[in-house]
Amino acid sequence: MPRQITPFQQTATPDNSRNVQQETTKPTHKTQAAIPPAAPSTTQAASPKPASQPEAKPPAITSLDKVAYCALRQRGKGYCWGGNSPMKGFDCSGLTQYSFRQGASIDIPRTAAAQYQAAIKVPKEEAGRGDLVFFRTRGNRVSHVGIYLGEDRFVHAPRTGKPITTTKLEGYWKRKLVGFGRIPGACQPLLPKSVV
């Protein structure tokens, strides 16, 4: 039976002899590639990545972000029934009213129930930072309000004896939840779109 000759064993033509040289040099090349590159090469290879990051535009900062920031700055202050200023203290709707006035230059009604009536209702999936979150803590009427921060967290003035705080939307608060609301005209960009 005739012996089979693989292409790399044939040496009749110059082209095949080049193949033999390439085949014999490949193991040497692989050995060299196994040596890790020097540290400067690694740094140079990684440098193009940060250059592509500035292309992504940051999200526009809205007045609702400022509303949330104003409310968060009041954390730790005491609850005061009827209160609506940092000097006096806040009740729940006093805190939201103050935050919208300071953060968005918008006057909203004074009570939680009236704020609920004034707000455009939004589903939880669409609720965002600075939207209002409403609860029924007594009876069938909306009686408590906070400012939603996203990721199931909100800031509010809970009750007498409890300071303004951030709370997770779970347990008691999840059971008492009525829904989310957005104040018309409050979600305005603070910077021109061309700048952002």
What residues act catalytically? 92, 144, 156
d(CA 63, CA 80): 26
Residues paired with residue 182 on neighbouring β-strands, in sequence order: 120
The answer to whether the CB of 144 falls within 8 A of the CB of 106 is no
d(CA 164, CA 149): 14
- Nearest Cα to 95, choosing from 162, 11, 150, 168? 162
The answer to whether the CB of 178 falls within 8 A of the CB of 138 is no
Residue 186 DSSP SS3: coil
- Nearest Cα to 147, choosing from 93, 101, 78? 93
Angle 74-77-83 (CA atoms, 0-180°, nearest 5)?
90
DSSP state for residue 124 in the 8-state scheme = G
